[in-house]
Amino acid sequence: MKKTLLTAVMAAAALAGAAQDSKMDEFVSSLMQKMTIEEKIGQLTLQVAGDITTGSVQSSPVTERIAAGRMGGVFNVKGAGKIRQLQDIAVKQTRLGIPLLVGMDVVHGYETIFPIPLAMSCSWDTLAIERSARIAAKEASADGINWTYSPMVDISMDARWGRVAEGSGEDPYLGSCIARAMVRGYQGDYSGKADIMACVKHFALYGAVEAGKDYNTVDMSRMRMYNRYFPPYRAAVDAGAGSFMTSFNLVDGIPATGNRWLLTDVLRKQWGFDGFVVTDYESLMEMTRHGVGDLASVSVQALKAGTDMEMCSEGFYKTLGQSLKDGRVSTDDIDRACRRVLEAKYKLGLFADPYKYCDESRHATDVYTAENRAEARELAAKTFVLLKNEGGLLPLKKQGKIALIGPLADNAANLCGTWCVAYTPERYSTLRQGLERAVGGKATVLYAQGCNLTRDAALQKAAEFGRTIPRGDDEAMKAEALRVAAGADVIVCAMGECSDMTGESSSRVDLELPDVQRELLAELLKLGKPVVLLNFSGRPTVMTWEQARVPAIMNVWFGGSEAADAICDVLFGDRVPSGKLTMTMPQAVGQIPLYYNHMSTGRPVPEGIKSYRKYQSNYLDVRNDPLYPFGYGLSYTTFKYSEPRLSADSMAVDGSVKVSVDVTNTGERDADEVVQLYIRDLVAKISRPVKELKGFSRVHIKAGETRTVEFTIVPDMLKYYDSELNYGLDAGEFTVMTGPDSRRVKGCKLTVY
């Protein structure tokens, strides 16, 4: 009965959708009949609104082009008032009054800044992540933005690549869950004023740049693409993402922006994507540098491949008209792209109301509100990963003298991380301010910066990218810090990377704590007092030295506008840490790429082996194990896991089986735990990973309580793409594992017949 009702509702929704589609088709077709070829090519053009970002909108090349009806969209301009003026030009001064797409990199919040995406993924809380995207959309739309260049769903296993900060880590399953959550959060159903269009990036494989060097080349088997890198992009399509952004790199030797197999065969034909594709910043023009043709040829190639809109290159704008005359592209090619851009505007409701997102009164009520900030603070606290806590040093008590030391201790802008185009750091607290507030007079906070960010001033300047941290004489700063710390009961170090040491164009080869910071930490440890290291980072840091010496280490990433309060919430135990790593933390940079779901070799070395093994797959100088594995993170309480139990020892290839595990909170604090499910396919047509995440559940467990967590194993969790790219599963043996991280798992055998 229920099912019949559901089917009827779904059928009605499908009908309504089809009716909506046919209305859209009719509208767009009739509009396109009126458009000149120049106007159509104009719709394929996106420019940064750089020269109109300050003051009010003035005449400029961008506004002139809008007025000529030859611009599809602009991006990175802030303020509903300014955007209204731009829409005014598009709507009132052009022949056909087609409104603009207005984009921005709203990547982890707008003015209320959420933790960087890598950090958010460590919460494993997809509902909270969806809410963060919702809030980002609400704030951005209140300010005139209707299109965000997010989510970034590139899988990466290379911590040298600075852009790992923007993604959800190394795992395709978790990455897919988060991709869906963010698309839902941004877009809603496009009907509300706070629903904006997502742009999934960077399609594809950008996270696999060789040697972790940004913009570098990529080359991999299709099997690896489909099994490891494609799932989050596909999940975003399934969630209804309205647009996709191409990546800078090559895919099978062809730049992604001009890769027809990628943009048409895979994205549209195999996955059913029906939105539009925009290039990355100048990636169309960069095809000329990849050596595949001049601007006119690459523009033809990109358009025919399935790119619909160009960002900043001007290849379409300047050459497509002539290419049409020369017969290198057809009117159909241009129409197809133009239609997709116009459809996006239609879906957003811009034709119905071009000023839908230009309500200037909303800023006061919707942006950086107490409610939004509370959500950001709560989520930030869930992203911190407690890596070590010897003798239960944390949480700290609000008493005595607390020395706060380090270059990240008193700087709000550097708590926010990469991509904060619209942020207002002057309103955010520094950690020092947050700490003062948290102790509320019950303890004394002593402070010293202690050292520069890095000894090398030029490196610091490049890394800061404008968000400066004061420089001083290292020796004098150290002496002051040691004097301050000597009078304290506990030392809290705020050290690590600054915001722009990760993000775009911020690849690094040395992933340890920067020189002067490590030296200061060593001196502080010699004082013999309890030391807590708060590690700020946008990537896995190599902390082998610290793990051996520092009693308590918590990775706090870049927690956003509310990071200071959130850190204090966890530091003093008002909240219990529950974040778990979504990228493996190596013992040494030379191990990279190091990831939990690797293949077996023919000469495998089991985890936990203490010494080198000749003629086995290992290094002479470092064991294979990570320092902290994927999924790892401590709590202020402890959990005990039972062996996993299957509802049946076997399942049919089209059947299902349940696996359950009892998790007991054996400590004294109520807390959240992220329970993880991994599966290994023991014998298959191709070599399969030693384990793969296939489920997780964030559960709240009271002290002393036991909760049974259950997962249903369905065939899809056992399927993979083989070398012919057939998707399927093999009957045979599987190991089903549950545990608190990817290392400490307990397994049982499942037979599939």
Min dist CB 349 to ligand BGC, Å, is 23
Can you tell me the distance from the alpha carbon of 332 to that of 320, in angstroms, rounded to the nearest whole number?
Answer: 12
Catalytic choice (280, 366, 569, 681): 280
Q: What is the dihedral of CA 31, 33, 36, 37, to 10 degrees?
A: 100
| 154 binding ligand BGC? (CB under 6 A) | no
Hunting for tokens 């090519």 — which residue is that?
41
Nearer to ligand BGC, 505 or 601 (CB): 505
| 149 binding ligand BGC? (CB under 6 A) | yes
Min dist CB 198 to ligand BGC, Å, is 12
DSSP 269: I
Q: How far is CA 267 from CA 275, 305, 469, 633, in A?
A: 10, 11, 44, 36
Annotated active-site residue 280? The verdict is yes
**Pick from 340, 440, 456, 342: which is nearest to 398 by CA?**
440
| 244 binding ligand BGC? (CB under 6 A) | no
Min dist CB 375 to ligand BGC, Å, is 24
| 105 binding ligand BGC? (CB under 6 A) | yes
Min dist CB 721 to ligand BGC, Å, is 27
Instruction: Kindly report the number of other CB atoms within 10 A of residue 490's CB atom.
Output: 21
> Site size for ligand BGC, by CB under 6 A?
6
Query: Helices 474-486 and 515-526: crossing angle, nearest 10°?
Result: 30
User: H/E element holding 524?
Assistant: helix 515-526
Is the Cα torsion angle 265, 269, 273, 278 positive or negative in sign? positive
Three-state SS string over 351-397 comes to CCCCCCCCCCCHHHHHCCCHHHHHHHHHHHHHHCEEEEEHHHCCCCC
9: alpha, beta or left, given left = phi > 0 and alpha = psi -120 to 50? Answer: alpha
Nearer to ligand BGC, 50 or 593 (CB): 50
Min dist CB 556 to ligand BGC, Å, is 24
Amino acid at 8: A
| 281 binding ligand BGC? (CB under 6 A) | yes
In the sheet where 310-311 sits, what is the strand order? 276-278, 243-246, 197-203, 147-148, 101-104, 73-75, 45-48, 310-311
Can you tell me the distance from the alpha carbon of 212 to that of 290, in angstroms, rounded to the nearest whole number?
Answer: 19
Nearer to ligand BGC, 257 or 452 (CB): 257
Nearer to ligand BGC, 149 or 447 (CB): 149
| Residues 469-508 as x/- pattern, contact with ligand BGC by CB under 6 A | -----------------------------------x----
Locate 630 and state its tokens.
Answer: 């994927």
Min dist CB 144 to ligand BGC, Å, is 17
| 108 binding ligand BGC? (CB under 6 A) | no
Q: Collapsing DSSP states into helix, strand and coil, what is residue 398?
A: coil
| 201 binding ligand BGC? (CB under 6 A) | yes
Min dist CB 45 to ligand BGC, Å, is 15
**Pick from 139, 148, 556, 574: which is nearest to 373 by CA?**
139
Nearer to ligand BGC, 149 or 230 (CB): 149
Among 39, 143, 154, 280, binds ligand BGC (CB under 6 A): 280
Nearer to ligand BGC, 125 or 280 (CB): 280
Nearer to ligand BGC, 205 or 679 (CB): 205
Nearer to ligand BGC, 206 or 711 (CB): 206
| 229 binding ligand BGC? (CB under 6 A) | no
Min dist CB 53 to ligand BGC, Å, is 13
b/e 523-555 (16+ beta carbons within 10 angstroms → b): ebbeeeebbbbbbbbbbbbbbeebbeebbbbbb
**C-beta nearest to ligand BGC: residue:** 149
Can you tell me the distance from the alpha carbon of 251 to that of 222, in angstroms, rounded to the nearest whole number?
Answer: 10
The catalytic residue positions are: 280
- The residues that touch ligand BGC, with contacts defined as CB under 6 A, are 105, 149, 201, 280-281, 504
